[in-house]
Amino acid sequence: MSLNLEQYVSEFSAQNINGEHLLQLDGSKLKALGMTSSQDRAIIKKKLKEMKVSLEKARKAQEKMEKQREKLRKKEQEQLQRRSKKTDKCSSDATEGTNEQ
């Protein structure tokens, strides 16, 4: 509707075309849905291409964030392990000092 193509809404609805299905449509499938105007198909295809690019950028950004989080988790885990080893060593050294006395 934002593209001024509301005349196709009823057919898309009747065919259960949702967002996921919409991204799979190409020129021939749009034509089969009753979109006879090549200009209208071009508008839809251009918008679909823009949407796919946006989705891909969002997916890559999400993957980047997940990698950064995982890297941070690993770093924190390593720091905890180092602290634990230091604490264990200090406790061991203190115990040995007490045993020697």
pLDDT tens digit string along 52-86? 999 999 999 999 999 999 999 999 999 988 888 87
Opening angle at CA 47, ends 41 and 49, nearest 5: 100
Is residue 44 pLDDT above 60, yes or no?
yes
The residue behind tokens 């075309």 is: 17
Is 80 exceeded by the pLDDT of residue 92?
A: no
Would you place residue 101 in the very low, low, confident or very high pLDDT band (cuts 50, 70, 90)?
Answer: low
Enter the CATH code of domain 7-85: 1.10.150
Check whether 47 has a pLDDT greater than 80: yes
Angle at 70 between CA 89 and CA 55, to 5 degrees: 175
Share of the chain above pLDDT 90, in %: 51
CA 24 to chain centre: 18
